[in-house]
Chain A
């Protein structure tokens, strides 16, 4: 099998497996699959229960249900939330844009700054000031993201009253939104930055001792010139895939940030769904998140292939 075919097949298989997991879970979990599919605390009359059971295909064979499931997905039908009285896909898509508004700038900023600072950290690892900076980012790396939020909220909103406490907006103007978004994006960026920092630093530390870096120095290149003309790209390549895989982790972090800041994105959607046991929303969210994570991995893979000439020439 060619390299590209192998790669694509892995992604497709991954999606199939995860989606199938999503199918199996409510049906394999303890309890009545109907409850698992509808959510608990949904009030229904006995007759509507029977109706729903046949409507949802629960009286049909598993293989038939499986096919129906895939049919639904391909039509973007992610089920219906009885708690919110609307189709799951609608709910999710309306919330998703807020989460992306929070996550994407943080990811980009954290990614760029993190790799840049991390590269410098790896390059200048023996300098005193550098060690302090690394220790700081290490501490941030070790802090659960939601705790970072609580700290930020406490210090900057509660005590110093600099920023609003919750929500995406109060008046809806662009400035207002930016004001509300500042703290969450700050925390998210720090979170993403610290992770990228550590990974890039490690990679540069490894590449530092390579022969081509020594030869670059022998050619008369000075300090940072060696880093940015040679080592940076070599150090970045092997970790592009790592950084993309971290995307899933960072996205999960975003969910927590939303919860703490009481913002109406997917994070709080999932949280509420959790509290009210609204399983369809939970599963739908899981699917969407999976698609986003797998796409990120695919993008990173493609990016890597186009950047590394050794792969291109295979």
Chain B
């Protein structure tokens, strides 16, 4: 299906562009985003996107903002995926009581309203971005756990796993050598989707003003725009651009996730 490849290629290009933006921010941004110029400057040749209420160049803010989204998104997703995979693997492989207990815990975590909890905790703790990523990761592992578990249950019954068990290999060995590689391609799409969710969540938290004030994030830009008169005065360049960036970055990640899913399905059909 040619259209799918077109989408996923677009997603890949978008993603790489943002990645490059994040890594090479100092080189790409025209100014240091913390340097003050004349505030509320509309877009012009010197400041392509104008300046905000503190006189920071918005374009530079935008470019540096990609770092926060990437770090938080990646960090949270990584943690969520690690925990989720561990829980899902153990539950699916050992079954029985381990499965019951782990799934019970998963169900309970699933019911915790995630963003409200993060809001409450963030209100008290005023955390840095690493903390936020950690918090999100410790709440988001549940959907990965479920998917990994059902795949693990499947893989466990396959011939080569049964053979390994019959031959007396240790559980640890079987999990790492036999089961993990076969579950890997289920984990990857979930990983990408977790990044997407985490990025949106980070943007939402920052929008409420709970983000790390020491770093520029897209969500915080929108927050400032909203609370410091950017919206009322119609300074669309201030809040539309970061919002667009969030949407595009998330979109690129989701497209990649879909592409990985398609690939996995195609491999399965061949088997």
Q: Write the residues of chain A forming the contact surface with B, with a CB cutoff of 8 angstroms.
A: 10-11, 13-14, 17-18, 21-22, 25-26, 29-30, 36, 126, 131, 135, 138-139, 141-147, 150-151, 153-154, 158, 245, 248-249, 251-252, 255-256, 259-260, 270-271, 274-275, 277, 279, 282-283, 285-286, 289-290, 293-294, 297
The answer to whether A25 and B121 touch across the interface, beta carbons within 8 angstroms, is yes
The answer to whether B108 and A142 touch across the interface, beta carbons within 8 angstroms, is no
User: What size tier do the contact residues of chain B reach?
Assistant: 35 or more
The answer to whether B209 and A139 touch across the interface, beta carbons within 8 angstroms, is no
The answer to whether B246 and A274 touch across the interface, beta carbons within 8 angstroms, is no
Cα of A36 to Cα of B111 in the assembled complex, Å: 25
Cα of A286 to Cα of B107 in the assembled complex, Å: 19
Closest residue on chain B to residue A140 by CB atoms: B247
A141-B254, A279-B123 are known contacts; what are 4 more A-B pairs with Cβ within 8 Å? A131-B3, A249-B114, A252-B204, A290-B112
- Given A150, A259, A285, A286, which contacts B243 in the complex, CB threshold below 8 Å? A150
By a CB distance below 8 angstroms, the chain B residues around A252 are 113-116, 204
21 A-B pairs in the complex with CB atoms less than 8 angstroms apart: A18-B111, A22-B120, A25-B121, A141-B254, A144-B207, A144-B247, A146-B204, A147-B222, A147-B243, A154-B231, A158-B234, A245-B110, A248-B113, A256-B204, A270-B116, A274-B210, A277-B123, A279-B124, A282-B123, A286-B117, A289-B113
- Given B3, B108, B204, B254, which contacts A17 in the complex, CB threshold below 8 Å? B108
The answer to whether A14 and B113 touch across the interface, beta carbons within 8 angstroms, is no
B251 an interface residue at 8 Å Cβ cutoff? yes
The answer to whether B107 and A249 touch across the interface, beta carbons within 8 angstroms, is no
B1-38 with Cβ < 8 A to chain A: 1, 3, 7
The answer to whether B251 and A138 touch across the interface, beta carbons within 8 angstroms, is yes
Cα of A146 to Cα of B242 in the assembled complex, Å: 12
The answer to whether B123 and A139 touch across the interface, beta carbons within 8 angstroms, is no
B196 an interface residue at 8 Å Cβ cutoff? yes
Closest residue on chain A to residue B3 by CB atoms: A131
B239 an interface residue at 8 Å Cβ cutoff? yes
By a CB distance below 8 angstroms, the chain B residues around A260 are 226
Question: Do A18 and B124 contact each other (CB < 8 Å), given the known contacts A138-B254, A142-B196, A274-B119?
Answer: no
B250 an interface residue at 8 Å Cβ cutoff? yes
By a CB distance below 8 angstroms, the chain A residues around B204 are 144-146, 252, 256
B203 an interface residue at 8 Å Cβ cutoff? yes
By a CB distance below 8 angstroms, the chain B residues around A153 are 231
By a CB distance below 8 angstroms, the chain A residues around B114 are 248-249, 252
Q: Write the residues of chain B forming the contact surface with A, with a CB cutoff of 8 angstroms.
A: 1, 3, 7, 104, 107-108, 110-117, 119-121, 123-125, 196, 200, 203-204, 207-210, 219, 222, 226, 231, 234, 236, 239-240, 243, 246-247, 250-251, 254-255
A120 to chain B, nearest CB (A): 17
By a CB distance below 8 angstroms, the chain B residues around A138 are 251, 254-255
By a CB distance below 8 angstroms, the chain A residues around B207 are 144, 146, 256
Cα of A151 to Cα of B104 in the assembled complex, Å: 41
The answer to whether A25 and B124 touch across the interface, beta carbons within 8 angstroms, is yes
Cα of A48 to Cα of B200 in the assembled complex, Å: 43
Candidate in B120, B222, B240 with the most chain A CB atoms within 10 angstroms:
B120
Cα of A22 to Cα of B226 in the assembled complex, Å: 30
List of 5 A-B pairs having minimum Cβ-Cβ separation, nearest first:
A147-B243, A142-B250, A252-B115, A29-B124, A142-B251
By a CB distance below 8 angstroms, the chain A residues around B254 are 138, 141-142
Cα of A30 to Cα of B125 in the assembled complex, Å: 8
Question: Do A143 and B247 contact each other (CB < 8 Å), given the known contacts A150-B239, A248-B113, A294-B111?
Answer: yes
Question: Do A144 and B243 contact each other (CB < 8 Å), given the known contacts A25-B121, A260-B226, A286-B120?
Answer: yes
By a CB distance below 8 angstroms, the chain B residues around A285 are 116
Cα of A14 to Cα of B110 in the assembled complex, Å: 9
By a CB distance below 8 angstroms, the chain B residues around A282 are 119-120, 123
B112 to chain A, nearest CB (A): 6
- Given B111, B208, B226, B246, which contacts A297 in the complex, CB threshold below 8 Å? B111
Cα of A245 to Cα of B250 in the assembled complex, Å: 21
Closest residue on chain B to residue A285 by CB atoms: B116
